[in-house]
Structure 1
Amino acid sequence: MKTLRCQMNEVEDQTAKVTVEEQMLITTINSMENDLVSAKSDTKLLREEAEKMNKEKGQICAQISAKQRKIASLESDSSTLNQTMELMQQERVSSSKKIAEKRTGSNLTGLEK
């Protein structure tokens, strides 16, 4: 009888140990499942943020391109204006010389008389 009681106590102890171990495993599994759900949620948020950043990057690149085209256009306009100004200055110098020559010529003509 003592042996049977001793064996029953051992079985009960083993059962208690197995139950505790099983409960620990269940808790670990639940924790891992929660971590997995959280990781999936974080992954989804990161993908959405990445898409948003890519869209913003595209918009910024488009703005940069538009501004580069504007700069190129303004540089071209500036170059054209500089050339026009140089031609006008050359024309002014040429006109001034002609006027000076006419004055000198009319002064000489007046002196010859």
Structure 2
Amino acid sequence: MASASSSRATAGLACEKSQLTVKVVSVKPKVHSRQSRINSYVEVTVDGLPSETKKTGKRIGSSELLWNEILIMNVTAQSHLDLKVWSCHTLRNELLGTASISLCNVLKKNGGKSTYE
């Protein structure tokens, strides 16, 4: 679950950058029986740009992983957010799940407001 809110200094064009506050709350992973505890983090990317990628800290959990972390992202009204949950391993990280959010669709569904939960 993630929640978001944005602040815009001035009203203007759709291509104008604004800061989006993304709160990464929690995830309930499907745990394999061989792996009872997972060491994971969340990665949020704006418009597929490596320069606009931020990560949460690592958390260890089993039935639910809690972050309650705030990430500040630079976005436009047309931006897409990609969220990935990664499990950390010694040799390499494993992708556990993904989600994508279109800010344009969120704005349309919420009458121009950028709150999404």
TM-score range, shorter chain: under 0.3
The structure in which a higher percent of residues are helix is: 1
Larger radius of gyration: 1
Quick one: higher RCO (CA 8 Å, sep 6+), 1 or 2? 2
The structure in which a higher percent of residues are strand is: 2
Question: Structure 1-normalised TM-score?
Answer: 0.15
Question: Structure 2-normalised TM-score?
Answer: 0.14
